[in-house]
A = this chain, B = another copy of it.
Amino acid sequence: MATPLEKARRDPESTKARILQSARRVFGYYGYHGTTTRMIAQETGIDISTLHYHWGDKKDLYEAAIIDITKDLKQKLIAVEKEIRGLPLAERMAIAIDRMTDYLFEHPEISNLILLRYISKTRYEGNLDFKVTEFTADIARSMGLITDKKTLSTRVSMEVWAVMNSIHTFISGEEFYRSITRDSHEEYAALVKETLMFIHIPAFTAREARQT
């Protein structure tokens, strides 16, 4: 039994899937309350009632968008993990940062929606019980901080969270930051990678050096 979301992910040309794509972008840009169903309908090029026909009410569509971006992000993380497996720590982190920033710059709404969920609250009680824990464990394993999921301490997940959020804030903050520096997107993206590697790699390699 396929959920509506799974059907939409399989057929990206369908109206249902196009609504979801628009929803990701608009929700990511303006946040939940800053987005109206009319905005999403207009972005998709359809009537509001068509939107409600496919996705139910606004809250349902929002939650579908959240789950959708989570799946995309997880998929990407698994791909990156495959690529860096076995490499030395510094190299592993450098490649992971490079790939993830590239990917998130192409899909900034992922970073936007994730950060918005951390920071801001909707006025409706959301019933999305996120599996952030196992999600974090995936990254921790990928970074070589733990060997299996059972040993994930709060301290380690905190470190993983710091690295991920550092990337997300740079992606989400591009428009704001570039409005000050007047850099091009390419300059900004290069600067982001440099800075992320400069800050995050030394901490983890230094600890590895201490431990061996």
Q: Is there an interface contact between A29 and B121, defined as CB atoms closer than 8 Å?
A: yes
Q: Is A43's beta carbon under 8 Å from chain B?
A: no
User: This chain: how many copies in the complex?
Assistant: 2
A180 shortest CB reach to chain B, Å:
6
Q: Is A155's beta carbon under 8 Å from chain B?
A: yes
Bound-state Cα–Cα, A199 to B192, Å: 17
Residues of B within 8 A of A192 (CB): 158
Residues of B within 8 A of A168 (CB): 169
Q: Is there an interface contact between B162 and A173, defined as CB atoms closer than 8 Å?
A: no
Bound-state Cα–Cα, A102 to B186, Å: 37
A-B contact pairs, 28 of them (CB 8 A): A29-B121, A30-B120, A31-B31, A31-B33, A31-B34, A33-B33, A34-B122, A115-B115, A115-B119, A117-B176, A118-B169, A118-B176, A119-B173, A132-B180, A154-B191, A155-B194, A155-B195, A158-B191, A158-B194, A158-B195, A163-B199, A166-B166, A168-B169, A198-B207, A201-B203, A202-B206, A203-B203, A206-B206
